[in-house]
């Protein structure tokens, strides 16, 4: 749902509320393709294997579909599966959700992933909806690339007329899906909004091109970095040039990734994020991503800065108007983990007469934490 520890920068397999396809993230050598926009007829389904549920050979008129793209290596995809399952159950008579596996590193391992993930819930347990694997790379090409989507999870709502009604992160599709099912969705208005967003994307691309020219030396230093230490120095050099917000976000992500995963220095990863506030402090999505990772990822198990995560989560909560469910979920997690920290402190400072009772409450908190879903 929110984890950053997947891939915000293609060469680093870590970070991002979405996971990015390496070829797309690099953005090089892509052929011209016919765009796929809201209001267009949905492309066919190119499926090599149906892993769960009844096969869907074509979109039936009068029925609503959600085509959601995922991969086994994508943490945000896995975290969001229970939510997608909830929507499928809610609209079981009107909607068919199809989870399509793409960008997979080892396609032969996917059926096994569906059956068994060791101590973790299997794919079949997580995904209470139809699941399939794409034929070759056709679904990624005909749906994701044509729509300009370079990150997963991504979802497409196909309306009763077989047209694309909405495209976005599945964590944000509750209201669009509700309106599509009820026949209240304004596809034309959604298409206009999408056009505005794409125009803004083009503006940002031009801005990034100008920055690349201005910071050519710093970017070259990053490109030629041979060690993680050199990479961190180079990233800090690039960030000191005040890149555009979207560009800065990538490099903050890469620095966080390098420190937390490659160098296994979670404390320094937190210090790095704290030092780069000006690049993320007005982005509720970025703040939420980093807070979530600090609170949940194994890399931070022995160095969770719950105070920093709480501060970032609350800032994201404020920026979102206190109405974003994913962000509220992060804040709730921060409060819960802070409660555990405080309860441990209470045990440390309790007298003998109260210690057993306080330790018992701590055990309740810790047991609840150990049983949390992925």
Residue 340's nearest CA partner among 313, 362, 358 is: 362
Q: Would you state the pLDDT for residue 29?
A: 43
Measured between alpha carbons, how far is 222 from 226 in angstroms, rounded to an integer? 9
How many other C-beta atoms lie within 10 A of the C-beta of residue 25?
19
- Can you tell me whether residue 150 is helix, strand or coil? coil
Per-10-residue mean pLDDT of the chain, 374 residues long, equals 38 44 45 85 97 96 98 92 97 98 94 93 95 96 94 96 96 96 97 92 88 93 94 96 88 94 95 95 94 93 92 96 92 90 86 85 79 60
Helix axis angle for 306-319 and 284-296, nearest 10°, is: 150
Which tokens hold the place of 272?
């790095």
- What percent of the residues of the chain are helix, what percent strand, and what percent coil, each to the nearest 5? 55, 10, 35
User: Which tokens sit at 67?
Assistant: 């085509």
| CB neighbour list of residue 324: distance below 8 Å, 6 or more residues apart | 284, 288, 316, 317
Question: Alpha helices, DSSP H only, in 244-305?
Answer: 245-257, 266-275, 277-280, 284-296
Residue 32: the pLDDT is: 63
Classify burial at 68, counting beta carbons within 10 Å of its beta carbon; exposed 0-12, middle 13-18, buried 19 or more.
buried
Q: d(Cα 157, Cα 145) in Å, to the nearest integer?
A: 16
Q: Is 33 helix (H, G, I), strand (E, B) or coil?
A: coil
Half-sphere CA count of 58, side-chain side, radius 13 A:
5
pLDDT value for 11: 31
- Cβ-proximal residues to 74 (8 Å cutoff; 6+ apart), any chain: 6, 18, 19, 152, 153
Question: CB–CB of 122/33 below 8 Å?
Answer: no
Block residue for tokens 């059956």 = 115
């Amino acid at each position: 749902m929110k984890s950053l520890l997947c891939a915000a920068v293609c060469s680093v397999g870590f970070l991002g509320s979405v996971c990015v396809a390496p070829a797309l993230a690099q953005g090089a050598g892509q052929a011209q393709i016919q765009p796929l926009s809201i209001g267009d007829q949905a492309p066919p389904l190119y499926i090599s294997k149906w892993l769960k549920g009844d096969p869907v050979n074509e979109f039936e008129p009068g029925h609503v579909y959600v085509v959601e793209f995922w991969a086994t290596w994508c943490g945000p995809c896995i975290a969001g599966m229970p939510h997608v399952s909830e929507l499928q159950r809610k609209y079981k008579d009107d909607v068919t959700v199809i989870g399509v596996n793409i960008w997979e590193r080892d396609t032969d391992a996917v059926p096994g992933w569906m059956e068994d993930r060791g101590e973790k819930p299997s794919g079949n347990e997580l995904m209470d909806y139809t699941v399939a694997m794409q034929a070759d790379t056709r679904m990624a090409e005909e749906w994701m690339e044509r729509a300009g989507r370079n990150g997963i999870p991504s979802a497409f709502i196909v309306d009763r007329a077989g047209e694309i009604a909405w495209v976005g992160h599945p964590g944000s599709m509750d209201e669009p899906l509700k309106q599509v099912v009820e026949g209240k969705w304004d596809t034309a208005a959604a298409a206009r909004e999408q056009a505005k967003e794409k125009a803004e994307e083009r503006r940002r691309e031009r801005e990034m091109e100008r920055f690349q020219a201005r910071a050519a030396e710093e970017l070259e230093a990053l490109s030629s970095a041979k060690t993680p230490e050199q990479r961190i120095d180079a990233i800090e050099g690039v960030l000191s040039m005040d890149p555009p917000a979207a560009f800065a976000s990538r490099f903050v992500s890469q620095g966080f990734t390098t420190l937390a995963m490659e160098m296994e220095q979670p404390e320094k990863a937190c210090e790095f994020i704290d030092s780069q506030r000006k690049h993320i402090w007005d982005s509720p999505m970025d703040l939420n991503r980093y807070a979530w990772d600090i609170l949940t990822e194994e890399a931070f198990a022995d160095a969770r800065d719950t105070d920093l995560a709480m501060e970032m989560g609350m800032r994201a909560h404020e920026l979102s108007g206190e109405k974003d469910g994913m962000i509220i979920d992060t804040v709730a997690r921060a409060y819960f983990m802070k409660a555990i920290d405080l309860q441990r402190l209470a045990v440390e400072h309790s007298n003998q007469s109260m210690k057993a009772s306080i330790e018992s409450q701590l055990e309740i908190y810790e047991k609840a934490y150990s049983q949390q879903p992925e």
